[in-house]
Amino acid sequence: MESDSRTRAAIEAHWRASEAGETDAEHAIYAEDAILDHPQSGERFRGRATIVAQRGGHPADRHFTVLRITGSRDMWVSECIITYDGVPTHSVSIMEFAGEQVSHETQYFADPFPSPAWRAALAEPMPGQEIIRA
């Protein structure tokens, strides 16, 4: 379990560095030959240097809010809200570790959407959030 504590701390440091714009610290978690996949666009970024370059070229003002980190051993999931130029996008990051570094990350992105009226009576707001009504 001590290894899980170290891994969680590394992930938390990664997200703090992402928010602070500290590029070197943000990417220290990745193995030199890490792979980053974006299934929704079909893109694969191979190697830490390529991951750094694709993130460094992003034109938007970005902010990261971590909602939850869960996992153990070599598989960890972070649920986040990434705000691009003031517009929030929900993100799920699945990090696979080989030793103490990420060997493979898969990120999924989803924009908020309104709740349909037909299920309004069934839903309650998630903690700290408001339901988006249609």
- DSSP letters for 5-58: HHHHHHHHHHHHHHHHT-HHHHHTTEEEEEEEEETTTTEEEESHHHHHHHHHT-
Q: Assess if residue 130 is contained within a domain.
A: no
Half-sphere exposure of 26 (CA within 13 A, CB side): 16
Q: Assess if residue 93 is contained within a domain.
A: yes
- Give tens-digit pLDDT for 65-94: 999 999 999 999 999 999 999 999 999 999
Number of domains in the chain: 1
Q: Assess if residue 125 is contained within a domain.
A: no
Instruction: Please give the residue range of the domain that contains residue 7.
Output: 2-116
Q: Assess if residue 128 is contained within a domain.
A: no
Percentage of the chain exceeding pLDDT 70: 99
Cβ-contact 20, 27 below 8 angstroms: no
CATH of the domain at 37: 3.10.450.50
Q: Assess if residue 9 is contained within a domain.
A: yes
Confidence (pLDDT) at 58: 86
- Give tens-digit pLDDT for 91-126: 999 999 999 999 999 999 998 899 999 998 999 998
SS3 call for 111: coil
Confidence (pLDDT) at 116: 93
Q: Assess if residue 127 is contained within a domain.
A: no
Confidence (pLDDT) at 1: 63
Q: Assess if residue 65 is contained within a domain.
A: yes
Q: What average pLDDT does range 18-39 have in this prediction?
A: 96
